[in-house]
A and B are shown apart, each in its own frame.
Chain A
């Protein structure tokens, strides 16, 4: 079967910087794919190329077999929720929904049915006549998602949909996304949040315009060839600074009063030996997605160096 979304050797430069540096990716029908990476990794540029808003400098993009840059029919089945404010802030929720409903040629009854459902799930119903500019961050994002979902696209592109959204609204947004994925929608979501990445069927780790790892979140974590530990400091936190500099410590991140570290596979005893001298103690723990991400970035940078 053909890939619903296909990226092949995709490259995009802005002046001297290469925002997207050779991405290959295939999404199949009904897949929820998470594009994870820090700010500036190239997530937004990738999404914009998928939506046909930016021309690639190299490689090709196909959405349902067509080039979104030139094909008008792709736009009928594509939904986009940009990261920035992109709705009409001087129009109310109802007017924004009306505008997009008409653009996609929805009949009055069909529009009313879909809006009723979306507003019920997002609990925006009481605010239908409030201007988009007067909504809270979370409410605005729910409206933007509703506008992108209104025409029930086959492919939905979400660029950091929960950025600046409170935890409750975040969960609601994700419930909404899951509901449509179960209905057969293919979704690509960009996020800097690791916990959101774990909600996806598959994730791609994006770093400096390159996909440095792709796969199911659990499998990716399982496949880490390194070990994760918590460092308990005996005397004080000063020893953390030293741990950072250990050759076998690939990544370290403070977690409360402790330090999470990723140790190169099979080198734990060596690290423990050095810690003994400092009065610290290692305790094995389960690797998380964040550990994975830090390790893969370290790998990628090691290869580049």
Chain B
């Protein structure tokens, strides 16, 4: 068939150009893994062994028992014993501690009299995320410590965290990061390739040959599709290798949805390239339209359920949303494939729309 011959000609030429230009390969294969590692280690929300100073003005067996239990989990670390709360402030300013626990004199006496026995937790809230975690961990440690002391049977809340018992943020982050990184790289790859033909003048030569617009679109997509899929595999592989992300579900549906997601992102890049015809503008448009939605509107950083209605509606057309859903479901939850067809349909629809739009907007005119 002549059509396949022309598509093959273009795809083969693209492969030659990719092989000859190491920047493309670096962008496609090294960047995703690098970004994953950078974000994976950098954007970890876990803080272990939060340093807290201790001001025990009671110095009784009760206060010592409380402190022992307070620091029992290891998430909080006693960094030093002070005699005055004012010293704790000084240590906040120099950044030595993130918090302090103060047990006032008379703590044990109040307990024995069955009166409320207040203690004080001081937290450095200059960094909100850290402060919240410190406070949360301090409260839960205290609760655990106090429960033992209550004479009446307390209402006991048992929390059991499914799928990610240690609440490690890496497990939660890697699927989101994978979608984010793959989206960025895929859109950039094709955004550059068509714009480059315009800039270098090869487009007019190409348009003078029998090749059709649809054939150009498919011929351009094929090699980058392969590259994009390798990037997905690398990112998921690195997630497993460096962050211990499991694979609990069926790889089949993951592969299918990855394929459709990459295709959609490449199609988006192609559309940008067709519309802008300029590598510089295309790069910026590609970064903006892939990076922001897949970061902010995909459920990666902010849960979709917590968004205002209008934003929730916008997320419906963000493919990263469906891909992240599939990734989390397959990697962490082990959800059966039958529950993920919704994602498949949404991703397929987006990919189809992008390819049809790029072909339709592809003007076979040079002026």
Binding site for B on A (CB under 8 A): 14, 48, 51-55, 72, 75-76, 78-80, 82, 84-91, 95, 98-100, 102-105, 147
Contacts and interface: CB of A to CB of B under 8 A. Distances in A.
A91 B201 contact: no
A79 B208 CA distance: 7
Contacts of B211: 103
Q: Which are the 3 A-B pairs with shortest beta-carbon distances?
A: A102-B9, A80-B208, A86-B205
Interface in B180-212: 200-202, 204-205, 207-212
B365 A99 contact: no
A72 B8 contact: no
B17 A99 contact: no
A105 B6 CA distance: 7
The A contact surface, by secondary structure, is: loop
A54 B367 contact: yes
B65 interface: no
Contacts, number: 85
B20 A90 contact: yes
Given A54-B366, A90-B17, A103 B209 contact: yes
B5 A82 contact: no
B110 interface: no
Given A80-B204, A80-B205, 9 more contacts: A54-B366, A55-B365, A75-B210, A78-B208, A79-B208, A84-B201, A102-B5, A103-B10, A147-B205
B329 to A, nearest CB: 42
B113 interface: no
A82 B367 CA distance: 14
A78 B210 CA distance: 9
B205 A102 contact: no
A159 to B, nearest CB: 10
A51 B13 contact: no
A85 B205 CA distance: 9
Contacts of A72: 210, 212
B2 interface: yes
Among B5, B200, B208, find the residue whose CB has the most chain A CB atoms closer than 10 A.
B208
Nearest to B366: A53
A51 B201 CA distance: 15
Contacts of A75: 208-210
A105 B205 contact: no
Contacts of A86: 200-202, 204-205
B12 interface: yes
Nearest to A12: B367
B162 interface: no
A84 B205 CA distance: 10
B16 interface: yes
Given A91-B13, A99-B9, A103-B9, A85 B200 contact: yes
B156 interface: no
B8 A82 contact: no
17 contacts: A53-B208, A54-B365, A75-B208, A78-B208, A80-B204, A80-B208, A84-B204, A86-B200, A86-B205, A98-B12, A99-B9, A99-B10, A103-B210, A103-B211, A104-B210, A105-B2, A105-B210
A106 B248 CA distance: 50
Nearest to B209: A103
B21 interface: yes
A228 B365 CA distance: 45
A100 B209 CA distance: 8
A232 B5 CA distance: 66
A95 B16 contact: yes
A51 B208 contact: yes
Nearest to A48: B366
A89 B21 CA distance: 12
A100 B211 CA distance: 10
Nearest to B202: A86
Interface centre among B17, B210, B366 (most CB of A within 10 A): B210
